[in-house]
Structure 1
């Protein structure tokens, strides 16, 4: 392997992988995107939202900390496995795109066989997490793998690959409720749709970083599809997400503090839209990363609402 200490172009500055990880682990940490934690945050949030929504519906003062821990570990492991799989599929594309050519496989830091082994190991961690839940949740989790497997190929066949990412990354909105109740209801389904619209919105912003290179190599995306109408499209997607969350809260019998959290989410998403400049890659990346705060705002509202109703 070469250049074990070479940073990936779009990594978070001063991340722990580059600063503290041993040399042999660095390329694997980069492959799993441990140097870019926003991905696992975005995968985790629908799980946490759903768990908190279910806890409130069940009359519990706080979502089960064990479930939150499991979903966090599972999000880190499966996001890493998914990124490794994605990089294996996209190595020829990544080598031709400025932002991605420094990734471990195209840059030669990790061989394809090493990446495959690492993907399996991460998947086993995800499986170990999944089997801690009830049978319904296990089956539901396994069902998501078909979408995960299809996602890397979508940018070759549709202008809407972000919609497939939305189907995959929002799956946790179903999992949290299923973990608590062993079944699904309309509230988590609507939360799933909320995550779906939210994901398309924020990933469209993210995709604007690569639009020139994507157009050159023939990769398709909503960033290219929406082009100068991105603000209108993302505004509509975010509005649809907020509407679906509101319906989910109503169906789950949530109280006023949960709606206050949703109002905070609306303000934050509005701030994103006001700041959006699709021709400023650095700003697009910063706005994309700010969606971690979106997650905290909604989760905080759900938790405070459950606590208040159990005082």
Structure 2
């Protein structure tokens, strides 16, 4: 997806996407652990993690400052990205919503590990809501609709027509 059709992607693009993915995933895991330290203490699989066991950053004030600084870096970096790369929209996509459907699938599968503990501690998850991922019938029609929308946009957009480009953007 990071290449001109019929050509291999540039190594620089692969490196940029890989770095972005690693940074965002790592940041997401860290933020999740910061917020869920009190829950992780009660979940068998996570109770020995540093935050779950109270080893690091157990003070809510420290967590708040850390999260604030980190989120500001992302917010302030986006306008600068277009000065260094032709891919500011890719950066924004990575920050905000890269692969929402894909994430929903693998995170729901992951959440099935903790269903019993989630019920005990009173937290919600898609694993609890959907009961069984394989019988989550709403997912498939919505995935098909999202795929159809994307296919329609790609196949019908006139990239030289500003009005059509805006129409396709607004249709999202």
TM-score under structure 2 normalisation?
0.63
Residues 109-258 of structure 1: pairs in structure 2 closer than 5 A? 109-112=55-58, 113=62, 127=77, 131=81, 132-134=84-86, 136-137=88-89, 140=92, 144=96, 171-172=97-98, 195-227=99-131, 229-233=132-136, 236-238=138-140, 240-241=142-143, 244-245=146-147, 248-249=150-151, 251-252=153-154
CA change 1:221–1:118 in 2 (3 A) is closer
Q: Distance in 1 between matches of 2:91 and 2:124?
A: 32
Within 5 Å, which residues of 2 pair with 1:260-275? none
Matches within 5 A, 1:95-110: 95-110=41-56
Unmatched 5+ residue regions in structure 2? 156-172
| 2:7 aligned residue | 61
State the Cα RMSD in Å.
4.0
Q: State the Cα distance separating 1:105 from its structure 2 match.
A: 1.3
- C-alpha change, 1:71 and 1:116, in structure 2 (3 Å) is farther
1:84 and 1:115 in contact (8 A); partners too:
no
- Matched with 1:90 is 36
Shift of 1:243: 5.8
User: What count of residue pairs does the alignment treat as equivalent?
Assistant: 148
Cα deviation, 1:260-310, whole Å, max 9, x if unaligned, reads xxxxxxxxxxxxxxxxxxxxxxxxxxxxxxxxxxxxxxxxxxxxxxxxxxx
- Normalized per residue, the structure richer in helix is 1
Q: Report deviation, 1:236.
A: 4.8
What is the alpha-carbon distance in structure 2 between the residues aligned to residue 120 and residue 75 of structure 1? 20
After superposition, the Cα gap between the structure-2 partners of 1:88 and 1:115, relative to the gap in structure 1 and judged at 3 Å, is: same
Q: Normalization by structure 1: what TM-score?
A: 0.38
Give the C-alpha shift of residue 75 in structure 1.
Answer: 1.4
Q: Secondary structure at the match of 1:105?
A: coil
Larger RCO: Structure 1 or Structure 2 (Cα < 8 Å, ≥ 6 residues apart)? 1
Distance 1:125 1:71, change over 3 A: farther
Alignment deviations for residues 93-149 of structure 1 (CA, whole Å, 9 cap, x no partner): 111111111222122443345997699679869959x724348538835972xxxxx
- 2:25 is aligned to 79
Distance across 2 between alignment mates of 1:138 and 1:226: 31
| Partner-residue secondary structure (3-state), 1:208 | helix
Please identify the structure whose Cα radius of gyration is greater: 2
